[in-house]
Structure 1
Amino acid sequence: MLGPGPPPILDAALRGGAGAMRMDDATWRRHANPWSVWTRILTPLPLLTVVLFLRPALAWWTLLPLAVVLAWIVWNPRAFPEPKAWDGWPQRGVLGEKAMIAHAAAVPGHHRRTMTVLTGLSAVTAVI
């Protein structure tokens, strides 16, 4: 049985994040490059952790490295060329992310709770 998609609050968060990134179809294709996926997974959180750890010492200067990290997060999907193959898990994951945000495919009811829990945990760990 197909469901209507994510809960309203999750739907608003997903659409807001995608809208803030200003990602068109070409950007999504470039974002599917494995280098984009891996650098997006492995770099922002450690860099943000260091910036926040140094916040007491840097005071207002914290805003400069924070701006650099946020700029990297926005620029990363545009930094790499489109992938040569579309059969790897990074490409499938990015295309699934795009489909979920665009609601191109309804989420089956038995997967909706798992999707909501995993997305919520991801959001909580991103805030921490």
Structure 2
Amino acid sequence: MSSISFEKKIAEAFNLKDERWLKHANPWSIWTRFATLPFLVVAIWSRAWIGWFCLIPIAILIIWLFVNPTLFKAPKHLNHWGSKAVLGEKLWSERKTNPVPKHHYTPIHILTILQTLGSILLVIGLWNFHLYLTILGASIVYMAKMWFLDRMVWVFENMKNQHIE
């Protein structure tokens, strides 16, 4: 079994290392990145109107998702809910080397499954131009993600006395 979690691999793909986690904990980084999904949905849906040109806004948004965590300064304090959520995600991604309290595992796994199911509905809706399925999928993704982030705040609060790089 790998000593690196799936979430840690994703964090590495987004180049979230060291001080970049703190930069991403800036509320501007969190909320501007979080707000990207509706734009991505419209960009994908726009293939009905602009054909292959839809790849331009899709590419811009994907680049935005990768660049966003590096654009903002580290926050002056970590009292913001979103900052705690991001740092909780950091702790969760490192759980194989820095154990997270076990009572978080089941809710986090359930919320991850809900996000995945919402994503599947969203993709099916987008693929078939099914408006209600697209909206349902996006709504499930957002609700599960918000609940997940709230759980990450809880993880952060439980572990905040440990060193955060």
Q: With the length of structure 2 as denominator, give the TM-score of the two structures.
A: 0.64
**C-alpha RMSD over aligned residues:** 1.8
What does residue range 89-128 of structure 1 map to in structure 2 within 5 Å? Answer: 89-103=81-95, 105-127=98-120, 128=122
Alpha carbons of structure 1 residues 109 and 15: separation in structure 2 relative to 1, 3 Å: same
1:19 aligns with 2:18: no
Alpha carbons of structure 1 residues 123 and 16: separation in structure 2 relative to 1, 3 Å: farther
Identify the match of residue 33 of structure 1 among 20, 26, 29: 26
Q: Which moved more, 1:100-109 or 1:20-29?
A: 100-109
Q: Which residue of 2 aligns with 1:79?
A: 71
* Number of residue-to-residue matches in the alignment: 117
Find the aligned partners of 1:36 and 1:124 in 2 and give their Cα distance: 26
- Determine helix, strand or coil for the equivalent of 2:51: helix
Q: Which residue of 1 aligns with 2:144?
A: none
* Per-residue Cα deviation, 1:75-106 (whole angstroms, up to 9, x for no partner): 11111111011122111111110011011542
Find the aligned partners of 1:46 and 1:91 in 2 and give their Cα distance: 22
Gap runs ≥5 in structure 2: 123-165
Aligned residues of 1:45 and 1:126 also touching (Cα < 8 A): no
Q: Which residue of 2 aligns with 1:67?
A: 59
- Determine helix, strand or coil for the equivalent of 2:16: coil
Find the aligned partners of 1:15 and 1:122 in 2 and give their Cα distance: 18
Find the aligned partners of 1:123 and 1:25 in 2 and give their Cα distance: 28
The structure with higher relative contact order (CA 8 Å, sep 6+) is 1
Find the aligned partners of 2:27 and 2:85 in 1 and give their Cα distance: 10
Q: Which residue of 2 aligns with 1:5?
A: none
User: Alignment identity in percent?
Assistant: 35
Alpha carbons of structure 1 residues 95 and 81: separation in structure 2 relative to 1, 3 Å: same
Which one-letter code corresponds to 1:27 in the other structure?
R
Find the aligned partners of 1:55 and 1:89 in 2 and give their Cα distance: 36
